[in-house]
Amino acid sequence: MTALVAALVACVPAPLRAQEGAQLRIGARPSAPAVATITGETLYRPPGPGALLVTTDRPAFVSALFLTSGQPVQVLSVGAVAAGVEVPLRLPVSTGFTQVYTVASVEPLDVSAAQGARSLDDAGWAVQAAARALPAGAYTVATTTFTVGRFGTLRVAASVAGAEVRVDGHLAGYTPVTIEDVPVGSAVVSVTAPGLSSWAQRVTVPDNSVVEVRAVLTPPTGTLSVASDVSAQVLVGGSVAGQVTAADRPLRVNLRPDTVGVNVLPADPTLKPQNLLVRIRARQVTTIRCTLNAGTYGCQTP
């Protein structure tokens, strides 16, 4: 029994549960396979599985209570079935979350009073009332739940081939990749490749449509922060990176990891330019602090 079914059984009325001490056993399973989606959900395509395959371990009379997407209960009848023979129980069109309570009894059991019930409690009372005329243990119930969903397609490309693609954390393939049967709604697409910064984006997947996504992966960068007591121009690798104008407003530059030459040129020509060699590390901040002390200008990395 799955966690979902176990939780469902715990909250349904006792007459709609498998009965203790029942004189027979019943099994019910969808006749068609579900779609195992990339996001980890198990869904059926519209209009649903179409039928349940029902078996009992002795001759029995079978009917079912069908609830889908908050609609009133529909009572479905199979009639008499032989022991050990898989019999199809045809299902109506399903939408969204669907519950089927398949009832098997050793004597005919009329549960038609549950038709149109607006709640599980009402349906349970109808089954309980109908079962009063039967001997103890004369019926039991099998619970089947499933969800009918809608799907779209994701087509993911990246600036590098072979990048890993995940949808809501689930591995979906490697770029370029087309991912079918993605449930309609919001999903997070993430793309990663060794040595490059990761990329992620939340996308909306529409029904029966293709969403194209392109990820641009770049080498990870570090940050150079230069603060100065006096106005100064900053060069990195011989190119102008910007101007620092006050100690409390440092210049911040994103750079690829490397060892770089940094020149700090004070606007005051009487102050000595500073030349430093610093290492930029990925995803870290490298700080240069330039101070004017007793007429002497100097820069250092703390």
Quick: pLDDT tens for 26-35: 999 999 999 9
Distance CA 37, CA 210 (A): 16
Last residue of a domain, which of 148, 183, 207?
148
Q: Does 95 lie in the same domain as 31?
A: yes
Is the pLDDT reported for residue 91 higher than 80? Answer: yes
Q: Does 112 lie in the same domain as 142?
A: yes
Q: What CATH number is given to the structural domain containing 141? A: 2.60.40
Q: Does 86 lie in the same domain as 42?
A: yes
Last residue of a domain, which of 124, 148, 172?
148
The pTM (predicted TM-score) of the whole model is 0.73
Structurally, how many domains does the chain consist of? 3
Exposure of 64 by Cβ count < 10 A (0-12 exposed, 13-18 middle, 19+ buried)?
Answer: buried
**Domain range spanning residue 174?**
151-215
Contact 286, 225 (CB under 8 A): yes
Q: Is residue 10 very low, low, confident or very high in pLDDT (cuts 50, 70, 90)?
A: low
The mean per-residue pLDDT over the stretch 221-230 comes to 95
Distance CA 2, CA 203 (A): 30
Q: Does 76 lie in the same domain as 28?
A: yes
Is the pLDDT reported for residue 302 higher than 80? Answer: no
Q: Does 142 lie in the same domain as 9?
A: yes
The mean per-residue pLDDT over the stretch 151-180 comes to 96
Q: Does 201 lie in the same domain as 136?
A: no
Q: What CATH number is given to the structural domain containing 185? A: 2.60.40.1120
What's the whole-number average pLDDT of the chain?
94
Percent of the chain at pLDDT exceeding 70: 97
Q: Is residue 195 very low, low, confident or very high in pLDDT (cuts 50, 70, 90)?
A: confident
Is the pLDDT reported for residue 7 higher than 90? Answer: no
Tokens of 48: 């649903």
pLDDT of amino acid 248: 84
Last residue of a domain, which of 101, 124, 148?
148
Q: Does 260 lie in the same domain as 163?
A: no
Distance CA 53, CA 71 (A): 23
Q: Does 279 lie in the same domain as 179?
A: no
pLDDT of amino acid 85: 96
Distance CA 113, CA 100 (A): 16
Percent of the chain at pLDDT exceeding 90: 89
- CB proximity list for 102: less than 8 A, separation 6 or greater: 26, 28, 52, 54, 62, 63, 64, 89, 141, 142, 143, 144
Q: What CATH number is given to the structural domain containing 266? A: 2.60.40.10
Which residues make beta-bridge pairs with 186?
A: 204
Q: Is residue 5 very low, low, confident or very high in pLDDT (cuts 50, 70, 90)?
A: very low
pLDDT of amino acid 251: 96
Is the pLDDT reported for residue 229 higher than 60? Answer: yes
Dump pLDDT digits (tens) for 46-58. 999 999 999 999 9
Q: Is residue 231 very low, low, confident or very high in pLDDT (cuts 50, 70, 90)?
A: very high
Contact 94, 110 (CB under 8 A): no
Is the pLDDT reported for residue 190 higher than 50? Answer: yes
The mean per-residue pLDDT over the stretch 69-92 comes to 95
Dump pLDDT digits (tens) for 109-135. 999 999 999 999 999 999 999 999 999
Q: Does 249 lie in the same domain as 238?
A: yes
Q: Does 251 lie in the same domain as 234?
A: yes
Q: Does 141 lie in the same domain as 60?
A: yes
Residue where the block lists tokens 């407003």: 249
pLDDT of amino acid 8: 53
Distance CA 19, CA 138 (A): 9
Is the pLDDT reported for residue 2 higher than 70? Answer: no
Q: Is residue 1 very low, low, confident or very high in pLDDT (cuts 50, 70, 90)?
A: very low
Distance CA 127, CA 109 (A): 9
Q: Is residue 280 very low, low, confident or very high in pLDDT (cuts 50, 70, 90)?
A: very high
Tokens of 168: 């809501």
The mean per-residue pLDDT over the stretch 180-199 comes to 94
The mean per-residue pLDDT over the stretch 249-277 comes to 95
What phi and psi values does residue 121 have, to the nearest 5 degrees? -60, -45
Q: Does 254 lie in the same domain as 195?
A: no
Residue where the block lists tokens 């910064």: 197
